[in-house]
Amino acid sequence: MRGKFKLVPLAIFVLFVCLASVSSESISLAPFDGQDAAKKQYVCPPCGCKGDDEAHDQPGNCPTCNMAMIEKTAELRELKSIPSFLRLNDKVWTGGQPTLDHLAKLKEEGVKVIINIRPHSEHGGEREAAKAKDLGLRYFNIPVVYNQPEDEDADDFLKVTDEQLKGELVFIHCAAAIRVGAFWMIRRVLRDGWTYEKALEEANRIGLRNRPHLVDFARDYIDRHQKK
């Protein structure tokens, strides 16, 4: 009888140890409610502003452009998140402003040359130039002012593209591919012999969106430089 009574406390002790072990495992595995939230970061949707590459710990509005920020995810590194990104052909890709992460992705995808036709002062372009250099990409900047394109800009664009479009993949960008469309249209007519109408159709697909002042600039430049 006494032996049976001695077994009861032992059984209770073993049960207590098992329950304590399970509880401790549950506690260690259960995530703290605020833990995942603390790891999240928020960024401006890639829009070409100076705040594109700045990550923030809290949601809110971008301090640069005031757009509502979004959670930073792996998908934002994908090239499809570049504004107006377009694989124009096997030698030329176009788009709006890439982030620094995009530059690394562009290199992974085979791009060798970056041609940025925004003034550096628009978006902190020095960071882009430095990142491109670190990645081993050839980087060129033609500072086209959106509202005041100049003949010299078009001259430089033709010169740089003449030199760089020799088989290696090139990415040409501005803020939203609007200027890229206009300047690529100039090249299509003057270098590739396209009609103005065909070049304008492609330019709008790139991102020109029939912006009157840029369409007029491109047309005027073409008229004055086209061989009669």
103 and 45 inside one domain:
no
Q: Which of residues 72, 90, 112 is at a domain's end?
A: 72
SS (H, E, C) 12-26: HHHHHHHHHHHHHHH
Tell me if 143 is assigned to some domain: yes
Task: Enter the pTM of the model.
Answer: 0.72
Based on the fold, state whether residues 109 and 141 are members of the same structural domain. Answer: yes
pLDDT at 40: 79
Same domain, 103 and 180: yes
- Range(s) of the domain holding residue 66: 40-72
In a shared domain, residues 117 and 208: yes
59 and 106 inside one domain: no
Same domain, yes or no: 101 and 142: yes
The b-or-e profile of 11-44 (16+ CB within 10 A means b, else e) is eeeeeeeeeeeeeeeeeeeeeeeeeeeeeeebbb
The predicted structure's pLDDT at residue 50 = 60
Tell me which DSSP letter residue 220 carries.
Answer: H
pLDDT per residue rounded down to tens, the chain (228 residues): 444 444 445 444 444 444 444 444 443 434 434 445 558 777 666 666 666 657 767 777 888 766 677 565 655 558 899 999 999 999 999 999 999 999 999 999 999 999 999 999 998 899 999 999 999 999 999 999 999 999 999 999 999 999 999 999 999 999 999 999 999 999 999 999 999 999 999 999 999 999 999 999 999 999 999 986
- 142 and 175: one domain? yes
Q: Do 53 and 164 fall into the same domain?
A: no
Task: Return the pLDDT at 4.
Answer: 47
The answer to whether residue 149 sits within a structural domain is: yes
Task: Give the C-alpha separation, 36 to 33, whole Å.
Answer: 7
Give the chain's domain count: 2
In a domain, 145, yes or no: yes
